[in-house]
Amino acid sequence: MMRVLDKKAMANLMTILWNSWSNRNNFIFRGKEEEATVIWERASTLNKDFRICNLLKEPLLSPNIALKKWEKPPKGFVKINFDTTVGVNRIGVRGDCKGRLFRFRWWGGFIETRVSVHEAECMAFEKSIQLAGQLNIKGNVIFETDHASLVNKLRNNVYVQG
């Protein structure tokens, strides 16, 4: 559907759907329901106000899309990439290892536990460190993840032990 509608129509649809969902919740939890015309007017006003606000302020996100692709590790480095998926009472951990001597397509599995996304990413990072030890990788290792919160925490707290 997003490919069929232009940006303005898609924004209008999302706002109407959100207002309908909010109205449904108000009916279920508060016993208060509004007419469809009220929901429509609220969504329309919200969209107009949002567009005006966007014209007056600098965007928070860059309109330029940065295409990221995998890059080969520098000479003498091994790159270990890890990621997780979180479900109800279960997480999936996966990763791969690429370097001059190592090339594993993937490793991973499922763990029966209930954790937050951040905790799951930390567990995957720990498994990646264990993998580096099991493979007896000595020297320069690049750990790669798409979890920005973990990267930011590590950037502020990483030290190199030589």
- In this predicted model, what pLDDT tens digit does every residue of 94-148 receive, in sequence order? 666 665 445 555 566 777 777 788 888 888 888 888 888 888 887 788 888 888 8
User: What pLDDT score does 84 carry?
Assistant: 81
Residue with tokens 């007056």: 56
Q: Is 60 a residue whose pLDDT tops 80?
A: no
What is residue 56's three-state secondary structure?
Answer: helix
**pLDDT interval class at 59 (50, 70, 90):** low
Rounded to 5 degrees, what are φ and ψ at 69?
-135, 160
Residues across the chain = 162
User: What pLDDT score does 13 carry?
Assistant: 86
> Among 44, 43, 7, 48, which Cα is nearest to 23's?
43
The rounded percent of the chain whose pLDDT value lies above 90 is 10
What pTM, to 2 d.p., does this model score? Answer: 0.50
Residue with tokens 């460190």: 129
> Among 161, 160, 81, which Cα is nearest to 128's?
81
Q: Is 25 a residue whose pLDDT tops 80?
A: yes
Residue 130 CA to residue 132 CA, distance in Å, equals 5
**pLDDT interval class at 20 (50, 70, 90):** very high
CB 144 within 8 A of CB 82: yes
Q: What is the mean pLDDT of residues 148-153?
A: 81
Residue 20 CA to residue 13 CA, distance in Å, equals 10
Strand partners for 111 = 91
